[in-house]
Amino acid sequence: MGALLMFDSNVLLSPPDIFLILGVVSISASVVWALTGRVWVRFHGWVYRAKEPGSFWWEVTLYFLCGVGLIVYFMSKI
């Protein structure tokens, strides 16, 4: 009988791969939140684009820039 091949999740969760995964998730979240008009803010709850446009776009920008920063860091390590 052949050996059972199992996926090793430790490979993807080890640096620097985790930075790419977190960067893609952060950019994806910022795009989804920009399209839906609400963003989750830690310790504050949901911020809606119609009620607080300044805070909303600030948070979307922060999520996007954090994602870009994580991907740039990943690219510098490979």
The pLDDT assigned to 37 comes to: 94
**Which range marks the domain in which residue 37 is found?**
15-77
Is the residue at 71 inside a domain?
yes
Name the residue among 28, 63, 59 with its Cα closest to residue 46. 59
Is the residue at 55 inside a domain?
yes
Number of domains in the chain: 1
- pTM (predicted TM-score): 0.77
DSSP letter (8 states) at residue 52:
-
Write the pLDDT tens digit of every residue in 25-75: 999 999 999 999 999 888 888 999 999 999 999 999 999 999 999 999 999
Are 39 and 46 in contact by the 8 Å Cβ rule? The answer is yes
Is the residue at 6 inside a domain?
no
Is the residue at 4 inside a domain?
no
